[in-house]
Amino acid sequence: MPYRTLDPAEILKTLQLLQQRIGERFPDSGLAGVCNELIVIARVTEWRSRSVGRPNLLLRILIYAAIAGGIGAVVMVSHVLKLKVGEADVIGFFQGLEAAINIVVLAGAALFFLVTIEDRIKRRRALSGLHELRSIAHVIDMHQLTKDPGAGRGPATASSPTRDMSPFQLTRYLDYCAEMLALTGKLAALYAQNLPDTVIIDSVNEIEALTGSLGLKIWQKIAILENDSGKVRAP
């Protein structure tokens, strides 16, 4: 179903077009460099999100072999240490029963560890990629932090940041930041799409909430700029 899942190739294509737009309008800006870095992360995200969604056949073969070997060892030990209840004393019987219970508990814990090891490896890789996306979202927010639409209404101080953009340029700059944040959220959603793990879904929702709140701040600035120029555009 092409319209029911996110296509990482289309997200990457959209980012590349956005990078061209930023480069054409603000060729020497740091925002163009951030967008270029986001493209690099998008390529890694495409590969990593696909890899965590595929089964690790080699690891599964090793796990199944270890489980089979463990079962075989337990069966062998049970035959070697087989006791005839009629010939064993009471103390020896209960000691053997306690040892058997301990073996079952340890074998169950080892089985659980082996069965879940693939999911834990995939989760760790996905969380590492999501951490990169969370970090670059804050980097994007830093680039729009000083782009205040009302800063030109009063005298600047010696420590004031350089504000040489026209209202139109400032609107486009902020719009580009909002688009980058939205695409960052879509890149994060690729992990949840390919690995529907509860921890991953919660982390993706956190990043989408972060990019959404940062984007809302930007749209508030754009609304102020467009209201000042006599235009009103809803985000």
Half-sphere exposure for 195 (CA within 13 Å, toward CB):
31
Start-end of H helices in the chain: 8-25, 30-53, 57-80, 90-144, 167-194, 198-228
Tens-digit pLDDT profile for residues 216-235: 999 999 988 888 766 544 44
pLDDT in tens, 128-162: 999 999 999 999 999 998 887 765 566 666 766 77
Q: Which of 183, 159, 162, 194 is nearest to 49 (CA)?
A: 194
Write down the pLDDT at residue 167. Answer: 85
pTM: 0.76
Among 21, 50, 48, 51, smallest CA distance to 36 is for: 21
* Segment 26-42 mean pLDDT: 93
Q: How far apart are CA 186 and CA 196, in angstroms?
A: 15
pLDDT > 50? residue 86: no
> Cα separation of 61 and 171, whole Å?
56
Write down the pLDDT at residue 183: 96
Region 44-54 average pLDDT = 88
Question: Residue 73's pLDDT is what?
Answer: 63
What are 200's two structure tokens? 């991953």
Residue 5, C-beta contacts closer than 8 angstroms, at least 6 positions apart: 193
Q: Where are the domains of the chain?
A: 8-146+163-228
Of the candidates 193, 203, 180, the residue with the CA atom closest to the CA atom of residue 41: 180
